[in-house]
Structure 1
Amino acid sequence: MNTLLYCAAGELVTNQCNAVYRAMCDLEWYKLESKKARSLILLMIQTKRPFCITAGKIFPLTMTTFCSILKSSIGYVSFLLTKHG
């Protein structure tokens, strides 16, 4: 259950970060004052690489990761049940 919550939160954070990046790219920053445009350009550079929650800095916690973990777990349980059954 904890893994599901962490992966769902990680998916939400990643999607929100991507939405901010897309909104900033769609913004007509070149029509703004130079000081504001510079600030937005720096933010665009920072948000280009999406922020994501990771497990031990090894793999991102997303719903794709959760499905992979679930599939592997079910496979292991199935294997153990066939060995002992």
Structure 2
Amino acid sequence: MNTFLFCGAGELVTEQCNAVYRAMCDLEWYKLESRKARSLILLMMRAKYPFSITAGKIFPLTMATFCSILKTSMSYISFLLTKHS
């Protein structure tokens, strides 16, 4: 259950960061005054690489990761049950 919650939260954070980046790219930043455009460009450069929650700085916690963990766990349980029988 905890893994699902962490992966769900990680997915939401990543999606929101991507949405902010897309919104900044859609702005007509080149029409702004130079000081504001420069600040926006710095934000765009930072937002290009979205923030994500990771497990041990190794892999991001997303729903794809959760599905992979679930699939591997079910395979392992199935293997143990066949070996035990």
Question: Which category of TM-score, normalised to the shorter sequence, fits these structures?
Answer: over 0.9
Provide the residue aligned with 1:34 in structure 2: 34
Q: Which runs of 5+ in 1 are unaligned?
A: none
1:55 matched to 2:51: no
Letter in 2 for 1:53: I
1:41 positional shift: 0.3
Percent identity of paired positions between Structure 1 and Structure 2 = 81
Number of residue-to-residue matches in the alignment? 85
Q: Give the TM-score of the pair, scaled to structure 2.
A: 0.99
Q: Give the TM-score of the pair, scaled to structure 1.
A: 0.99
Letter in 1 for 2:18: N
1:57 positional shift: 0.2
Give the Cα separation in 1 of the matches to 2:61 and 2:54. 5
CA root-mean-square deviation? 0.4
1:18 positional shift: 0.3
Structure 1 residue ranges, 4+ long, deviating more than 6 angstroms after superposition: none
